Amino acid sequence: MNTNPNRQPKSRRGGESPPRRTSASVPNELLWALIGLLLTIFSTFVPVSLASWSAAGLSSQKLGITYQIGAVLLTGCLGGKNAGLLAQVAYIFLGLTWLPVFAQGGGMGYLKEPSFGYILGFMPGAWLCGWLAFRWRAKIETLALSAFAGLLVIHLCGLLYMLGLSIFQPQASQITFPDSLPTLFMNYSVWPFLGQLVVICVVVIIAFFFRKLLFY
């Protein structure tokens, strides 16, 4: 019997190795869910800027987005699928119960906002990101794939939600199909996408070093 908790178990019959852990431990998941919730709320109001040198010296240029999606994906990369999902469920619940944690406030009226589909997409996006992030050992390329997949899911949910509003609630949401839908898609998905890729690069680097530092 192996009494050493640090000793690795022998390979299974036929040379099969034990299955890899596909998520963080339960205490870590709960901790990262709380951290992810706080990060999502705080980052909603923090704009992304790039520093650049000019003749006048160091200056910053805003990209027109915030770090919100970065916080969503970072939670999945560090805490796993359950932590990512729990953080966003709590965030949406707080926002719909009239706490001003969304970019333009909160309340049930946000259901009619064209951008709410992207917020709903935080849940499956964070879950998928966390699931993929723990399927392999922490590497730059695997974390980048995980975050990029989560970002695509968020945008897909946003587009489907806008499409649904334009078809079933055109007067309440002031979205007409197909007139205003392409413009909204450009504003919410196409134009911010490049800046969000920059945020993903930051997320991947942070997640990689944290995973290495914490040995998981």
pTM, full prediction: 0.85
Place of tokens 């002031």: 174
pLDDT digits (tens, 9 = 90+) for 74-133: 999 999 999 999 999 999 999 999 899 999 999 999 998 989 999 999 999 999 999 999
Q: For residue range 165-213, what is the model confidence (pLDDT) as tens digits? A: 888 876 665 666 566 788 889 999 999 999 999 999 999 999 999 999 9
**C-alpha dihedral (72, 73, 78, 79), degrees to nearest 10:** 50
Measured at the CA of 154, the angle between CA 27 and CA 79, to 5 degrees, comes to 15
CATH topology of domain 23-39+67-213: Arp2/3 complex 21 kDa subunit ARPC3 (1.10.1760)
pLDDT tens-digit series, residues 40-77: 999 999 999 988 776 677 778 889 999 999 999 999 99
* Structure confidence at residue 6 (pLDDT): 44
Q: What is the model's pLDDT at position 17?
A: 47
How confident is the model at residue 96, as a pLDDT?
96
**How far is C-alpha 67 from the chain's CA centre?**
10
Q: Over 50: is that where the pLDDT of 18 sits?
A: no
